[in-house]
Structures are given as C-alpha cells and as structure tokens.
C-alpha cells in the first residue's frame, strides 16, 4: 500500500495536466500513487494518462465520469474510492508543484489533521512558456525565482469583497510562493495561534491544495453532492471537518501549488454564489459533520434499510 494518494481533479486541460504530472514525477517522496479524477473530459485526457502510464515512476490511475455539468465534489469522491492509501492529497489539475510537495504534506500527516497548502497564481505569459523540461529539470521553484517579479498575477482573487479575505489572499500571493524548506514548526505555529473557526475564515481555506486522512474523509462522508453545478464545496467540507474536531494545520510555505493561468470562470457569483454560501453557512451554524449525499449515499441507505453504499 502506498503511503499517500495524490488525487488530481481535471477537466479538458490535457496540456496543463501533462505539466502537473511532470512535476509530480520528480518528487523527493517516493511512496505514493497519483489518481487523475476526470470530470468528463474529452478522450484526449484519458489518452494522455494512458501514454504516460507506461513510463511514469509511480502508480498512475485514471477515473472518468460522464460530463453532466460541473461535478468537482463527485470527482473528488471518486478519487477517494479509487485511492489505495490512508492519506489523500487533493490537487487541482492546473497546479504544478515543487519537488518536496508530497514530502511536505506527509511530514505533518496525522490521522485527525487537515493540512492546507498555499496557491500562487501565475501569469498567462509564464504559464504558456513553462515546459515539461523545466519541471523535470531544475523544477518549478527555479523557474519561479528566475521570473519572481513578473510571473505572478498582480490581483489574486478580485472577487473577494471582505477585507480579511483580501488580506489573506494578498499574503498568499506575495509570500506563499516563497518556498521555505523548514523549520516545519513555523507553519504549524500559524494554525495553533488562532481558533479553528478563525483559521478557516481567514487563513488559507484553499481547496486546490489540501490533504487529510481516509478516516477523516469517511467520518465526514467526503464531499457534498449538493455542490453539483456550484463551486465552494471545499469551504463546506472544511467546516464539517472542524465540526468533527479535525485539527487544521498550515503547510502554506512548504507545500505550495503554482496555479497555471486560465480564464477565470467564477461560479461563486450571482444566484450560484448565494446558494453555495447558504449551504456553507448552514453547515457551520448547525455544526453538521456528515453530508447526506457524499462519499456514500445515506439517503438510499435510509430508504432501503441497508448499509450506506458508494455513489456511482
């Protein structure tokens, strides 16, 4: 059994996925598998994974689900079901990582922890010139520092309206890409300095780069399928983890994801934003731990009187 499973969620970005997998192929940690969980991409993505599997240094699995709309929550649930380890690292399919990324997550891995990493948004020009050779050669960190003042997007998340969200985003964008090899106690101290509720509200609630144990995922029943067609499933998931007594920890300066440029498609705006935030507030205020339709379908179990079953 591998020590960790990296679940990479993707949708119709084979060129970026190639870069993501290249960065994962040269990790200092060796005992892990990679699972590409595909939310309904065209055949090119599956063909890419099949071609790379022949020479990839770690086990490389592929799961595809039909394209019936945005279903990131279910794509992540599918990755959990396929995974063959007790520690799962979740990564978006447009995030390239440095060589010690998996090692950084594993250094603080504990059964009752949720590790939250950092994300730095890269410019279009830098993203489009990045190559597999860059990532498997000197690595993303070297390329990042060579273009330190021009490779980062100037405005991290302009959709944020509240000051503490803007401040947190600015901190991630300015400092989060500054890789610190250690000491690990520095990032660990950040989580200990604030309450879990404040931590999730202000500090690094980042769904593109996080990890936790299988036992935590089973305790909270994975990701909520009510977010089909919506973004924000990560925030609601993190609240359920906190409600369950899971301890959040920061790996923002040691497990950094570098976000490749693409047109923003903000789904958390307008009516969709209100629906998403309503679900998240409901979970927070009722201190809910398990979602009903997630990793297993508890509605079906209640109706039939049987044990919960995994949703297809």
What integer is the mean pLDDT of 95-108?
94
pLDDT tens track for 197-237: 665 555 555 678 999 999 999 999 999 999 998 988 998 99
Gap between the Cα atoms of 251 and 203, Å rounded: 11
pLDDT tens track for 218-228: 999 999 999 99
Domains and CATH numbers, the chain: 4-310 (3.90.550.10)
Q: What is the pLDDT of residue 306?
A: 43
Instruction: Give pTM, 2 decimals.
Output: 0.88
Q: What is the pLDDT of residue 94?
A: 95
pLDDT surpassing 50 at residue 105: yes
Q: What is the pLDDT of residue 174?
A: 58
Q: Which residue has the tokens 């929550």?
A: 73
- Of 2 and 195, the one with more pLDDT: 2
Q: What is the pLDDT of residue 231?
A: 86
Gap between the Cα atoms of 1 and 219, Å rounded: 21
Q: What is the pLDDT of residue 303?
A: 44
pLDDT more than 90, % of the chain: 60
pLDDT surpassing 60 at residue 285: yes
Torsion of CA 292, 298, 302, 307, to 10 degrees: -160
pLDDT surpassing 50 at residue 299: yes
- Of 93 and 308, the one with more pLDDT: 93
pLDDT tens track for 108-165: 999 999 998 888 889 999 999 999 999 999 999 889 988 988 888 866 554 455 655 5
Whole-angstrom CA distances from 233 to 110, 138, 161, 210, 254 are 23, 35, 19, 13, 24
Contact 206, 253 (CB under 8 A): no
pLDDT surpassing 90 at residue 1: no
What integer is the mean pLDDT of 289-299?
90
Average pLDDT of the chain, as a whole number: 85
What integer is the mean pLDDT of 184-192?
66
Contact 81, 310 (CB under 8 A): yes
């Amino acid at each position: 059994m591998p020590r960790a499973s990296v679940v990479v969620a993707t949708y119709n970005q084979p060129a970026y996925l190639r870069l993501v997998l290249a960065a994962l192929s040269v990790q200092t940690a060796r005992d892990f598998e990679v699972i590409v969980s595909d939310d309904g991409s065209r055949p090119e993505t599956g063909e890419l994974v099949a071609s790379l599997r022949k020479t990839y240094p770690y086990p490389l699995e592929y799961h595809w689900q039909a394209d019936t709309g945005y279903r990131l929550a279910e794509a992540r649930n599918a990755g959990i079901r396929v995974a063959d380890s007790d520690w799962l690292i979740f990564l978006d399919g447009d995030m390239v990582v440095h060589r010690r990324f998996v090692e950084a997550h594993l250094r603080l891995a504990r059964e009752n922890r949720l590790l939250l990493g950092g994300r730095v948004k890269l410019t279009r020009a830098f993203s489009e010139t990045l190559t597999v050779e860059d990532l498997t050669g000197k690595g993303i960190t070297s390329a990042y520092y060579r273009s330190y003042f021009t490779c980062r997007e100037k405005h991290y998340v302009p959709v944020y309206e509240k000051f503490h969200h803007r401040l947190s985003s600015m901190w991630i964008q300015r400092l989060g890409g500054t890789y610190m090899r250690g000491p690990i106690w520095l990032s660990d101290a950040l989580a200990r300095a604030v309450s879990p509720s404040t931590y999730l509200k202000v500090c690094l609630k980042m769904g593109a780069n996080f990890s936790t144990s299988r036992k935590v995922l089973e305790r909270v029943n994975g990701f909520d399928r009510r977010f089909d067609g919506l973004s924000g499933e990560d925030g609601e998931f993190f609240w359920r983890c906190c409600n369950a007594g899971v301890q959040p920890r920061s790996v923002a300066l040691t497990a950094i994801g570098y976000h490749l440029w693409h047109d923003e498609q903000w789904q958390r705006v307008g009516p969709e934003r209100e629906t998403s935030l309503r679900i998240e507030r409901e979970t927070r205020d009722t201190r809910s731990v398990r979602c009903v339709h997630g990793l297993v379908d508890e509605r079906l179990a209640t109706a039939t009187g049987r044990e919960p079953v995994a949703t297809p």
